[in-house]
Structure 1
């Protein structure tokens, strides 16, 4: 008998690597220190397919991989906040897994899309809250002279969060329109 808990963990790891690959190899929009990409899409898919815990795990793996391959660390605690804490919080989108699964199983694609977009917003805000926090504590020294570090961090992280939220929403809406069953949890026996 196979463990039914193994499949979500394997998918979480694979999709975390996919998120890293998207982040490293697919061009993103970069404006000054702001980077907007759709690299969170794989973690959102896992979160909406398997729920919060698996999404949290996938985000954690992605954050740890970021530490290995592409860290921007100016202080150990900043690195911990932005990679070990922030990335797993994308998994908060998984708190809406059940309504998404119910809508898609009942062929209510429009409702499913609405819930998914809201879930992406929840996961994006949860992640970027930690970047905002690290931003004004550790990156605030890079704020233009006379600009409040909290305002600086809020502005830059809000732009990055909204841009990433919109790009991830567009990609996931296109995916759900093309194949809603991609989001439906299926366990092998």
Structure 2
């Protein structure tokens, strides 16, 4: 295993742990099952810094860390896998924007970096909440208010959570990266 790959794996685990800590902080509650937090920020940093594979791994590890707190909802093994492993890992889809973000950084275009960060955050958030939406329809549909379809209920609840988290994470990341773009620059290691 080369040194750069080892650094990426260590950072993936470290940033998953940071996401877990942020997840323990109070969040904004807008409905009984809908909370908004900026806990995805560390996974997005991995996405911008290393790309898809490392951020996918970091998100997966964060989902795994959810087991340590006991703060998870387990209806069935399939629901658990979808909402804690697959959904969290899919935040890594923001990593597909790694090349354009790195290019904009090298060109010194703060506006382009900010725009691509916002786009990447929305893609990663949408990828995560797509799985929560599916689980909402299949597993949580019984909680829909009388007369509301499980599809609309899941769409509304997960859509609110996704939009809120994406906006909050975008704001935090644009401020962080504008203040210190080194946060998402890969460190070069000597061979």
TM-score (norm 2): 0.96
Match of 1:158 in 2: 159
| 2:84 corresponds to | 83
Corresponding residue number in structure 2 for 1:11: 11
Q: Secondary structure at the match of 2:147?
A: coil
Aligned position for 2:149 = 148
Aligned to 1:33: 33
Q: In 2, distance between residues paired with 1:2 and 1:146?
A: 57
| Deviation by residue 1:73-98 (Cα, 9 ceiling, x = unmatched) | 11111001001110000000000001
* Secondary structure of residue in 1 paired with 2:129: helix
- The superposition leaves residues 14-52 of structure 1 with CA deviations (integer Å, 9 ceiling, x where unpaired) of 00000000001x210012210100000000000110000
Instruction: Work out the CA distance in 2 between the residues paired with 1:2 and 1:157.
Output: 40
Question: Superposed, which structure 2 residues align to 1:51-70 within 5 Å?
Answer: 51-69=51-69, 70=71
Contact 1:176 1:182 survives alignment (8 Å) = yes
Deviation of 1:2 after TM superposition, in Å, equals: 5.8
2 CA distance for matches of 1:106 and 1:96? 16
Is 1:179 aligned with 2:180? Answer: yes
Q: Secondary structure of the equivalent of 2:139? A: helix
**In the aligned structure 1, how far is the partner of 2:73 from the partner of 2:35?**
13
Structure 2: where are the runs of 5+ without partners? none
Unaligned stretches of 5+ residues in structure 1: none
Contact 1:109/1:180 (8 A) holds in 2: no
CA contact (8 A) 1:132 1:154 kept: yes
Equivalent-residue separation in structure 2 for 1:102 and 1:171 (angstroms)? 21
| Alpha-carbon distance between aligned partners in 2 of 1:16 and 1:176, rounded to the nearest angstrom | 19
Q: Distance in 1 between matches of 2:15 and 2:161?
A: 22
> What SS does the aligned partner of 2:38 have?
coil
- Normalised to the residue count of structure 1, the TM-score between the two structures is 0.97
Query: How many residues were matched structurally?
Result: 188
- The residue that corresponds to 1:22 in the other structure is 22
